[in-house]
């Protein structure tokens, strides 16, 4: 079972691509007011649970409200971005979004919507679509 106290918004899915090929996907959302250290600790617990049941490749997607200069040139790293980067390093994940996903029409676009993956070689391509709201899919 998942750890007893999970208060983050997330959904875990296992996709069977072929009979032998599977992919674990975690979709998560961190509201701006939710403490980043608590969020990434709980997400880490979720990752450990999912990967403990299956060592299939892992992809984590969502709006993390985290900014890091490594993910978008001219973007200032915030505290949540530092937590997200530590989470990536600790879980051997790579963040693959390299374009702004939020505030495209503003003076300070940012990359808030992220994709973390532990087997980047499985990724054929990754692009940001035109905005449907204030975020791009």
pLDDT given for residue 59 in this prediction: 94
pLDDT given for residue 94 in this prediction: 92
Pairing of strands 58-63, 22-29: parallel
What pLDDT tens digit does each residue of the chain (137 aa) get?
555 556 788 989 999 988 888 999 999 999 989 999 999 999 999 999 998 888 899 999 998 988 888 887 667 888 999 999 999 999 999 988 877 776 666 667 667 788 899 998 877 777 666 666 555 55
Confirm if 79 and 32 have CB atoms less than 8 A apart.
no
pLDDT given for residue 121 in this prediction: 83
Confirm if 18 and 56 have CB atoms less than 8 A apart.
no
Kindly provide the b/e burial profile for residues 57-80, where b requires at least 16 CB atoms within 10 angstroms of the residue's own CB.
bbbbbbbbbbbbeebbeebeebeb
pLDDT given for residue 2 in this prediction: 54
pLDDT given for residue 57 in this prediction: 94
pLDDT given for residue 18 in this prediction: 87
pLDDT given for residue 112 in this prediction: 72
């Amino acid at each position: 079972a998942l750890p007893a106290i999970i208060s983050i918004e997330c959904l875990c899915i296992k996709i069977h691509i072929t009979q032998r090929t599977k992919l674990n996907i975690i979709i998560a959302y961190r509201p701006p007011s939710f403490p980043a250290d608590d969020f990434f600790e709980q997400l880490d617990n979720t990752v450990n649970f999912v990967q403990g049941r299956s060592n299939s490749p892992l992809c984590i997607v969502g709006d993390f409200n985290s900014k890091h200069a490594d993910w978008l040139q001219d973007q200032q790293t915030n505290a949540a971005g530092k937590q997200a980067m530590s989470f990536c390093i600790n879980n051997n994940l790579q963040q693959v979004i390299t374009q702004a996903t939020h505030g495209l029409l503003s003076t300070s676009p940012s990359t808030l919507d992220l994709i973390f993956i532990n087997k980047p070689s499985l990724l054929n391509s990754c692009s940001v679509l035109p905005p449907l709201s204030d975020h791009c899919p």
